[in-house]
Every structure is written in structure tokens, then in C-alpha cells.
A = this chain, B = another copy of it.
Amino acid sequence: MTSVRGYHHGDLRRTLLAAAVEAIDEAGPTALSLRDLARRAGVSHAAPAHHFGDKAGLLTALAAEGFDRLAEALEAADDLLAAGVAYVDFAVRHRAHFEVMFRPELYRVDDADLIAARGRSGAALRSGVATLSTDDDADTDTDALAAWSIAHGFATLWLAGALPDRVGADPHDAARTVLRRLFG
């Protein structure tokens, strides 16, 4: 990262991803414009294409980064309830990443980095469920799906602003209360 811009930016790839997060936080992934990102980074309108090919390429990188960070967050949780809360927490704190991750029509689902990162997230989820599982595999699968569904649903509804006001302003607390209804 050079402080004084020459012809070469120095760290454009990372800068563009950060700008994308900002832009998506402001107006959602739909309104994302590569040219806007270029302006934010102070480069020409065609510079992003070199690093990401096209819009889908950039969002693929963003989604992969998101699945990686989600995996880290889930791995740091002690039990399933903590993992569920961490999942919601991740969605709220990394809204831009989260919104892209679960909109596969926006990126390349066959990207190798992405598949690997998504695999890490999935493994972290399953290992969280395993902490309270019985020996029955079918039950474990159902438990994992139910846990994932309720955490994902709560996070999604929260982000969509669909939840009633009485739920409060702290997603952390509200999520714990709701998730306990399944896990407790």
C-alpha cells in the first residue's frame, strides 16, 4: 500500500473489496457498481476488471472471504447455542458479506476458493451440532438443519427489517432468546 498513488495502486484488490463492503452496506448488492468502486478507490473505471474479471468475479471473492470469516466465528464458539448466536452476530456485523454469500445468482458457485471456504463453514456447523448429538446420524442431520435454519432465518429476517419493533435493537440478546427455544 503506497500512500502516494503512482501509476500502480499497490493494493487495489483489497481496496476494491473493502469499497464493495462499504457500498453494499449503503445500498445493497443489487445497486453495486464497478465504476463506483473504481471511483472510491481513485482508479480508472476499467481497473477492477483486471483483478476480478467482472462483477460476478468480485462478488465471488467477497463471498469466499465471507465464508472464511464465518467459519472462524463458528469455530470460536463453545457450544451450539453460542454458535447460533455467533452466526446471527456475523450476519449483522458483516452484513455485506452475508447478503452476497446466500445469493448464489450473483457469483460463480463453481469457484474453487469459494467451495473450499463454504466447506469450512459447513464443517464448523456440523462440529457444533455434534457437541449435543446422540448416536443417530439421521437425528444429527435433522438437528443440524434445524439449528442452521433457525439461526439463518432469524438473521435474514433481522437484516430485512421484517421483525416487529418489540424485538428490540440488540440482535445478540434477541437471537439468544429465540435460539434457546430450539436448543434449550
Binding site for B on A (CB under 8 A): 27-31, 102-106, 109, 122, 141-143, 145-146, 148-157, 160-164, 166-167, 174, 177-179, 181-182
Contact = CB atoms under 8 A, between A and B. Distances in A.
Given A30-B105, A153-B156, 13 more contacts: A28-B106, A30-B30, A102-B156, A103-B160, A122-B164, A142-B181, A145-B174, A146-B178, A149-B151, A149-B178, A150-B153, A152-B156, A153-B153
B142 A149 contact: no
A45 to B, nearest CB: 21
19 contacts: A28-B105, A29-B30, A30-B106, A102-B157, A103-B160, A109-B161, A141-B166, A142-B177, A142-B178, A142-B181, A145-B167, A145-B178, A146-B181, A146-B182, A148-B157, A149-B153, A150-B153, A153-B155, A181-B182
Contacts of A153: 148-156
A109 B160 CA distance: 11
Contacts of A103: 28, 30, 160
User: Which residue among A102, A104, A149, A182 has the maximum number of chain B CB atoms within 10 Å of its CB?
Assistant: A149
Contact of A143 (B167, B179, B181): B181
Counting every copy of the chain, the complex holds: 2
Contacts of A178: 142, 145-146, 149
**Best-surrounded residue of A102, A109, A141, A145 (most CB of chain B within 10 A):** A145
A102 B103 CA distance: 13
A66 B171 CA distance: 27
